[in-house]
Structure 1
Amino acid sequence: MAKHMFANLLLLWSLGFYTTGKMDDGPKEQSWRNKNLDSIPPDLDVRLRSLDLSNNFIRRLHKVNLPYLEQLDFSSNQLELISEGALRDLAVLEKLNLSMNALNTNLDRNSKGLQSIGGLKTLDISWNNLGNEAVKLYLRNKSSLEQLKMSGNSLTWLTHDLFKESENLRSITIDANLISAIDKGTFEALGKLEKLNLAKNNLAHICDFKLKRVQYLNLSRNSIEFFVTAENNHMYSLEILDLSHNKLLYFPILPKRNQLKFLYLQHNIVGALTSEASMVSETNVLYNEVVRMNDVRIGKNNLHSTWRLMPLLHIDLSHNHFTSFPMETLSLLSTLEGLDFSFNCVQKLTWNVRQESASKYDRQLYFPSLRYLNMQSNGLVTISPRFLKALTQVETINLRDNAVQPCAPVAQMPSSLSSQQLNLSSSCIAFGKLKTLKHLSLENNDIKILPANAFRESSLVSLNLARNSHMVMRVDSWEDIKETLQSLTISELNVTNSELFLPCMPLLMHLNISNNRLNALPPNLNCSPLRELSIRNNAFMSLNYSLILALSAHLHVMYFSGNDLTCCDSNWLSALNNSGIKMPDIALTKCVTDDSSIPIEEYLKGSSLYCSRHIKGIHLGQTFIVILFVTVFITVFMMFARKTCCLKKSFLV
């Protein structure tokens, strides 16, 4: 007994010595990454707590004597054998990375080698070509394990006993495997599981979702056709659900009581059915078939009843097959702030809402919290005024790559365009009705005219009108937003200086007028505190020196490549260069001298070398003019003097 007590005291003393003395003076971590090693380096400092041996050629792992090691990275080697006692002395090892090796061989010996680590919390055995039985062997005696990564292996079926010795797992990543089936009870017994990643597998259905504690669930890039949860009164902790890149035809039926904040459904085939009503009814039929076992006695709308209670903040429905906007279903999400509906097939956003049972009139629904709406690339032509009225808090709308036209009364249009505007009036959009709108993109909508009151009563902060190459702008097109606009993009409009007039915009900080036919900066820019300016790909030969000086007080970045700039008329360029303004595309920019084209960076290093001939030519020309003037003056003077002399002689005679 005394011997045991003495041994324990000696051990405690030695541990205390290292932790309070030499441990603090020694290295805490060491990296041997990418050293072409074929074995573990000898004489490693026993005080190491972190060791990186990744990206080498080590094939065998023998005894490691590092009693204080907490983290070991052995990834990207050729490891195929772990000796049975190799890791026995790693008493405090918590994090072990064995990914990208050859652990699919020598399974019995390797698993015994791993079993000796009793306190491991994080294990990565990804990309080892491990099958179901191999994983079971490697997970033996892993009761302390909290994080497990098994990406890129060969798992095909998850059985209920796979994690029976790892019940403390909080995070499991099994993406990029071949999983097509999951036994009931596989994950349900893991009471602490919070994060589960099953992306890039072969799952086809989620028939009854029961993981109540999971907060993050990634099922993207499978072949899932439907996701159903049986109705119950349990509170689910799910906050993020990723079902993107699957084969969903219906909206998922989620837990009735949940904490879901983010739902990703992009790249599916939701909306392929002809109408929202048919989609909802088909979803409920599916629910009855899967959960109720064809018991149709309950005629409840399960989809809407669960969605009505969801605290969802963002939903991504981009890249689906919608031909109509699911107005009623989405309006149930009263907390929704962001909606991505881009890359669908909605050409007319009409008010397709069912009538109230006791009324002949359509209901007015609202999106009371929606702030961000992305409708890019739908082919939109019409947006119902009632839909605009429903967007009571919207701040950002992206309508890029559609065919919408801003509205204006016919009385305010020029007579030559009034008939054209009449044809557009039935489908144009009155953006001024959106009082909260701050950011709007109308890029590439083939806009015909930007009328004077298109944004009346709005307070736009940023506006993108790029790639509307046939758009006609009026002098007063900016009148309603000139006091609020901070960012304006009018690139690729094919306009000249005579077709572009910008008023004084006292808050404008970002201006993009690239890819046009401009040869002079708009004169009113001097009253804007511009921080970023792009004039790329225009017809500029020079810039107004005094205007550049005024802009340089605020300007941080300027782009000007793709213009035929003149080297020897570049006081403005020197002003830019001396002000410290960033010119990210200066390496792509050239200027022209009398006989060549040179990079502007090269010109700035020695401008006198390239423009001396030009300056000499100016001096010679000036000298010639002076000599000519003097010669003419002397000739005239002599002729005048001679004539005066002759007149005096005549008078004397």
Structure 2
Amino acid sequence: MPVLSVLPALLYFIVVPVLLVLSHPNISPCRLTQTTALCNGCKLSTVPQNLPQQTEELFLNHNSILALQSGCLLRYPALRLFSCANNSLTTVEGDAFSGSALIENLNLANNQLHNGHKGLAQSLRSLTRLRTLDLSSNGLTEDMASYVLQNLTSLEFLYLSGNFLLRLDESTFKDLHQLKELNLDRNLLFEIDGAFDHLKKLQRLNLAFNSLPCLVQFEMTQLVVLNASHNRIEWFITNPDLPETFQLETLDLSDNQLLFFPFLPSHSRIKTLLLSNNHIGFYGHLADNSSSNWTDSVEYYNMGKNASNITVEIWDEGLTGDISTVELLDLSGNQLRSFPEGFLQKMPRLYWLRLRRNCLESLSLTVQDMPETLYELDVSDNRLTELHAQPSSANKLNNLTHLNLSLNDIQVLPPRVFTTLPSLSSVDLSYNSVGVCPSRDVSDSDAQVCAVWSNLSSLKQLYIAGCSVRSLSPSVFEGTPLTHLELSNNPDLAVDQNCLSSLVGSLQHLGLSNTGLQNFDFSPYRHLKFLNISNNSIWELPKSLISLNLKLLDLRNNMLSTIQSEDATVLAQRVRAVYVNGNAFNCCQLEWYRMFEESKALHAVDLSEVTCIDLHQRRRKAMLFNSLECGGQSTEESIIWYILLFLSVGVSLVGISIIYFLTFRQKLLPHAIKKRCWRPTSY
């Protein structure tokens, strides 16, 4: 009774405070930081009305708001930024932004505003200070976009990516005279007819991932960045008659269908020129050697059948325009066989030159062919058979630091060519036919099929994987403080202690995959952090690895049957990441596996893929293998079998005892049971 009398009072003191808290106007799922309200992912269906009135930035992204109703922002007159992206907006009523005329940044991306674009257009008229508008991924067509953007004369940044724009003309952005940045990527654009001519302040234009066939009569002198990658552009031609200097600094035409090097302005400031994955080649030599009448006139039409005659001498390789300011040139993945004479010398500021995946057959490392400023040169995956250099001129390339010559067929090169490059830090010669010269006294005058790697004080990284290297002399790297050495995929290489002895104090990364390695003492290499000895015939984990503090150890595809428990314990403490799959592990010797699995310091990257061989010579998943299948080989499992045996014997003895007492010791039964169950029969 006393408990029942106290219960109403308890309910009062619990329920009433909860109701008061829930009904308090300042309680909100949003996170408040000064004048910013973060309400992202709060499962809201409407704009919250319980935030501070002085809120200047309101984020409502990733909610379930279907409509912005009239006056929904009246409570927040100081609002400057409003973001309602990734909702399900279909409607923005005409007076939705009334009372919030100070909004400068509006983000409505990833909604469905194509259904209510007229109401959206009306609501935007009241935002006279609007500078940034994001309407990406709203299903807008070009007509809808043109209607929405009318009279937005203050707009400076506009994002319309991921819509359904097909064709742009001069009416699409006619009122956006202050526009500085325009993003139109991932639409369906196939024609642009004077849409940007009046945008005199536009500096950044993104047209990537559309279907544009060409960009001709390009006259946007004020543009600084143009991204037209991932289209179908076959021609890029600027107006050569304009006397003004183009402000363009970055031009991205990668992943198109360009047939010729773009016809750039006669006066430009371009620094980054990205032309990878096209069909670019230089064909002037074909026109010179042919008697055929090669055409030099190209005629273009727009969808309105208005002819635009462009006449250029397409075989004149001097029409590349002004490339004197180019610092990065990426021509990877094209059809280049050679460069016109003096072409690279037109770029005296060139630092990065990327030419991988082309058809180049020869390369000359001389100042007559390469700019002295060159810092990185990548000519991997070409058809190079010769590398030319003159020691007297090669040493003038004193800025060349990274050189990638991999995946070619280089058979001839000056042996000491790399010693003449004073700043060379990284060389990749992998998968060529270039060996390692056994002696430092190789003649410089005769071209050889080997290279000298001694006394290169600047060289830190050397990659000579797959070069059919057979042997390394003890002094081959003397005077060269390598930190990275990649010798993998040289299956006939005989690696011994002496050949790498000069690298004891510097080596950090060592690749010896597929080198026939069986035994090697790694203990002197105290600085080693990354070691790859996969794809060899290692039967037992080298004891010398235990003393190293490795960040990564690759043991894949060897002949290991197990890893001793004491070794596994040390590895789990000292190594950060390990690869072990592809070995012939014994399923009944997986104690190391459990240690790796339970270790918090070691990350066994492919542990879930490790297989082992069971007693029946079947390959099993180690993580699914039951150790009970190993029979008497495990002490713990033997105890279990003994327990089962004794348990069965004990149950049998108990059963026999019960039968004995019931049959032969009847007097021990209770009298009532005996009287009922032991009556004499009538016969």
- Equivalent of 2:430 in 443, 458, 482: 443
Q: Alpha-carbon deviation of 1:561?
A: 4.6
Show the counterpart of 1:624.
none
Show the counterpart of 1:10.
none
Q: Alpha-carbon deviation of 1:402?
A: 1.4
- Equivalent of 1:311 in 325, 328, 331: 325
The residue correspondences of 1:246-285 to structure 2 (distance < 5 A) are: 246-271=256-281, 273=283, 275=285, 285=296
Q: Would you say 1:596 and 2:586 are equivalent positions? A: no
Show the counterpart of 1:358.
none
Please give the alpha-carbon distance, in whole angstroms, between the structure 1 residues aligned to 2:174 and 2:269.
28
Residue identity in the other structure for 1:503: S
Per-residue CA deviation, residues 389-441 of structure 1 (Å, 9 max, x unaligned), is 567232211122112247588xxxxxxxxxxxxxxxxxxx9444444422111
- Equivalent of 2:405 in 393, 399, 417: 399
CA pair 110-53 structure 1, distance change in 2 beyond 3 A: same
* Conserved? CA contact 2:532–2:555, under 8 Å: yes
Q: Would you say 1:223 and 2:232 are equivalent positions? A: yes
Show the counterpart of 1:39.
46
The residue correspondences of 1:568-579 to structure 2 (distance < 5 A) are: 569=564, 571-578=566-573
Please give the alpha-carbon distance, in whole angstroms, between the structure 1 residues aligned to 2:243 and 2:409.
47
* Conserved? CA contact 2:178–2:199, under 8 Å: yes
The residue correspondences of 1:421-440 to structure 2 (distance < 5 A) are: 430-440=417-427
Residue identity in the other structure for 1:189: H
Show the counterpart of 1:418.
none
* Conserved? CA contact 1:594–1:614, under 8 Å: no
* Conserved? CA contact 1:364–1:386, under 8 Å: no
Show the counterpart of 1:192.
201
**Worse-matched range after superposition: 255-264 or 457-466:** 457-466
Per-residue CA deviation, residues 600-646 of structure 1 (Å, 9 max, x unaligned), is 4526969xx99xx9999xxxxxxxxxxxxxxxxxxxxxxxxxxxxxx
Show the counterpart of 1:132.
142
CA pair 510-197 structure 1, distance change in 2 beyond 3 A: same
Q: Alpha-carbon deviation of 1:291?
A: 10
- Equivalent of 1:492 in 486, 489, 492: 489
* Conserved? CA contact 1:276–1:326, under 8 Å: no
- Equivalent of 2:386 in 370, 382, 385: 382
Show the counterpart of 1:338.
352
**Worse-matched range after superposition: 457-466 or 282-291:** 282-291
Please give the alpha-carbon distance, in whole angstroms, between the structure 2 residues aligned to 1:291 and 1:478.
64
**Worse-matched range after superposition: 484-493 or 283-292:** 283-292
Please give the alpha-carbon distance, in whole angstroms, between the structure 2 residues aligned to 1:458 and 1:496.
23
- Equivalent of 1:585 in 543, 557, 578: 578
Q: Would you say 1:64 and 2:61 are equivalent positions? A: no
Please give the alpha-carbon distance, in whole angstroms, between the structure 1 residues aligned to 2:251 and 2:326.
11
- SS of alignment partner, residue 148 of structure 1: strand
Please give the alpha-carbon distance, in whole angstroms, between the structure 2 residues aligned to 1:387 and 1:144.
61
Q: Alpha-carbon deviation of 1:226?
A: 1.8
Q: Would you say 1:531 and 2:529 are equivalent positions? A: yes
Q: Alpha-carbon deviation of 1:217?
A: 0.5
CA pair 582-291 structure 1, distance change in 2 beyond 3 A: farther
Residue identity in the other structure for 1:347: E
- SS of alignment partner, residue 226 of structure 2: strand
Q: Would you say 1:73 and 2:87 are equivalent positions? A: no
* Conserved? CA contact 1:251–1:283, under 8 Å: no
Per-residue CA deviation, residues 520-546 of structure 1 (Å, 9 max, x unaligned), is 3345x6156323333334344445556
Q: Alpha-carbon deviation of 1:146?
A: 1.4
- SS of alignment partner, residue 109 of structure 1: helix
Show the counterpart of 2:461.
462
The residue correspondences of 1:162-177 to structure 2 (distance < 5 A) are: 162-177=172-187
- SS of alignment partner, residue 403 of structure 2: strand
Residue identity in the other structure for 2:345: S
The residue correspondences of 1:549-628 to structure 2 (distance < 5 A) are: 549=547, 551-552=548-549, 555-565=550-560, 569=564, 571-578=566-573, 581-585=574-578, 595-602=588-595
Residue identity in the other structure for 1:399: L
- SS of alignment partner, residue 339 of structure 1: strand
CA pair 571-478 structure 1, distance change in 2 beyond 3 A: farther
CA pair 250-387 structure 1, distance change in 2 beyond 3 A: farther
Please give the alpha-carbon distance, in whole angstroms, between the structure 2 residues aligned to 1:364 and 1:586.
48
- SS of alignment partner, residue 135 of structure 1: helix
- SS of alignment partner, residue 208 of structure 1: strand
Please give the alpha-carbon distance, in whole angstroms, between the structure 2 residues aligned to 1:367 and 1:472.
36
Q: Would you say 1:236 and 2:246 are equivalent positions? A: yes
Q: Alpha-carbon deviation of 1:79?
A: 1.6
Per-residue CA deviation, residues 51-105 of structure 1 (Å, 9 max, x unaligned), is 3323333322113222233322222222221111111122322221112222222
Q: Alpha-carbon deviation of 1:126?
A: 1.3
- SS of alignment partner, residue 513 of structure 2: coil
**Worse-matched range after superposition: 204-213 or 314-323:** 204-213
CA pair 321-508 structure 1, distance change in 2 beyond 3 A: same
Show the counterpart of 2:470.
472
- SS of alignment partner, residue 502 of structure 1: helix
CA pair 521-25 structure 1, distance change in 2 beyond 3 A: same
* Conserved? CA contact 1:57–1:77, under 8 Å: yes
Please give the alpha-carbon distance, in whole angstroms, between the structure 1 residues aligned to 2:241 and 2:567.
70
Q: Alpha-carbon deviation of 1:265?
A: 0.6
* Conserved? CA contact 2:540–2:563, under 8 Å: no
* Conserved? CA contact 1:388–1:434, under 8 Å: no
Q: Would you say 1:368 and 2:377 are equivalent positions? A: no
Please give the alpha-carbon distance, in whole angstroms, between the structure 2 residues aligned to 1:471 and 1:200.
45
- SS of alignment partner, residue 472 of structure 1: coil
- SS of alignment partner, residue 334 of structure 1: coil
* Conserved? CA contact 2:53–2:77, under 8 Å: yes
Residue identity in the other structure for 1:596: Q
* Conserved? CA contact 1:406–1:451, under 8 Å: no
Please give the alpha-carbon distance, in whole angstroms, between the structure 2 residues aligned to 1:545 and 1:106.
72
The residue correspondences of 1:633-644 to structure 2 (distance < 5 A) are: none
Please give the alpha-carbon distance, in whole angstroms, between the structure 1 residues aligned to 2:596 and 2:90.
61
- SS of alignment partner, residue 110 of structure 1: helix
CA pair 32-498 structure 1, distance change in 2 beyond 3 A: closer
Q: Alpha-carbon deviation of 1:570?
A: 5.6
* Conserved? CA contact 2:261–2:320, under 8 Å: no
Residue identity in the other structure for 2:397: T
Residue identity in the other structure for 2:205: L
Please give the alpha-carbon distance, in whole angstroms, between the structure 1 residues aligned to 2:392 and 2:402.
13
Please give the alpha-carbon distance, in whole angstroms, between the structure 1 residues aligned to 2:100 and 2:461.
59
The residue correspondences of 1:25-174 to structure 2 (distance < 5 A) are: 28-62=35-69, 63-65=71-73, 66-174=76-184
Unmatched tracts of structure 1, length 5 or more? 1-23, 354-362, 410-428, 617-653
Residue identity in the other structure for 1:437: L
Q: Alpha-carbon deviation of 1:197?
A: 0.5
Show the counterpart of 2:10.
none
**Worse-matched range after superposition: 313-322 or 534-543:** 534-543
* Conserved? CA contact 2:487–2:512, under 8 Å: yes
Residue identity in the other structure for 1:439: S
* Conserved? CA contact 1:586–1:600, under 8 Å: no
Please give the alpha-carbon distance, in whole angstroms, between the structure 2 residues aligned to 1:594 and 1:95.
63
